[in-house]
Copies of this chain bind each other. A is one copy, B any other.
Amino acid sequence: MEIKTEIITIGDEILIGQIVDTNSAWMAEKLNDAGISVYQITTISDNREHILKTVQAALDRVDIVLMTGGLGPTSDDITKKTLAEFFHSELVLNDKVLASVRKRLEERNIRLNDLIRGQAYVPDKCQAFVNEWGTAPGMWFETNGKVLVSMPGVPVEMKGIMVKYVIPGLKDKYRLPAILHRTLLTYGTFEAHLAGLLEDFEKNLPSNVKLAYLPSAGRVRLRLTAKGDNREELTLLLDRLEKEMMERVGEYVYGKNEDTLEQIIGELLRKNGKTLSTAESCTGGMVSHLITKVPGASDYYKGSVVSYANEVKTGELGVPEKEIITHGAVSREVVEQMAEGVSTRLKTDYAIAISGIAGPTGGTPEKPVGTVWISVKAPEKTVAQKFIFGFTRMENITRAAYTSLNMLRKVLLNESFH
Give A contacts to B, CB under 8 Å. 12-22, 24-32, 37-45, 50, 54, 57, 72-76, 107-108, 110, 113, 115-116, 133, 154, 156, 181, 183, 190-193, 195-196, 202, 210-217, 223, 225, 278, 280, 282-289, 291-293, 295-298, 301-309, 311-312, 315-316, 345-347, 358-361, 388, 390-395, 397
Contacts and interface: CB of A to CB of B under 8 A. Distances in A.
Contact of A284 (B293, B312, B359): B293
A74 B192 contact: yes
A212 to B, nearest CB: 6
B15 A39 contact: yes
Contacts of A74: 191-192, 195, 213
B295 A308 contact: no
Nearest to A312: B303
Contacts of A306: 278, 285, 288, 292, 303-306
Contacts of A43: 24, 40-42
16 contacts: A12-B225, A17-B28, A18-B212, A21-B25, A39-B45, A74-B191, A76-B213, A284-B289, A292-B308, A292-B358, A293-B394, A296-B361, A297-B308, A301-B309, A303-B312, A315-B346
A309 B304 contact: no
Given A28-B14, A74-B195, A223-B18, A295 B393 contact: yes
A262 to B, nearest CB: 11
Given A15-B38, A278-B306, A302-B311, 16 more contacts: A17-B32, A18-B214, A20-B22, A21-B25, A39-B45, A72-B215, A73-B191, A73-B192, A76-B211, A107-B390, A110-B190, A113-B192, A285-B288, A285-B291, A288-B289, A316-B346
A26 B16 CA distance: 9
4 nearest A-B residue pairs (beta carbon): A284-B292, A17-B29, A285-B288, A285-B285
Nearest to A44: B40
A23 to B, nearest CB: 10
Contacts of A181: 16
A37 to B, nearest CB: 8
Contacts of A284: 288-289, 291-293, 297
Contact of A225 (B16, B211, B305): B16
A335 to B, nearest CB: 15
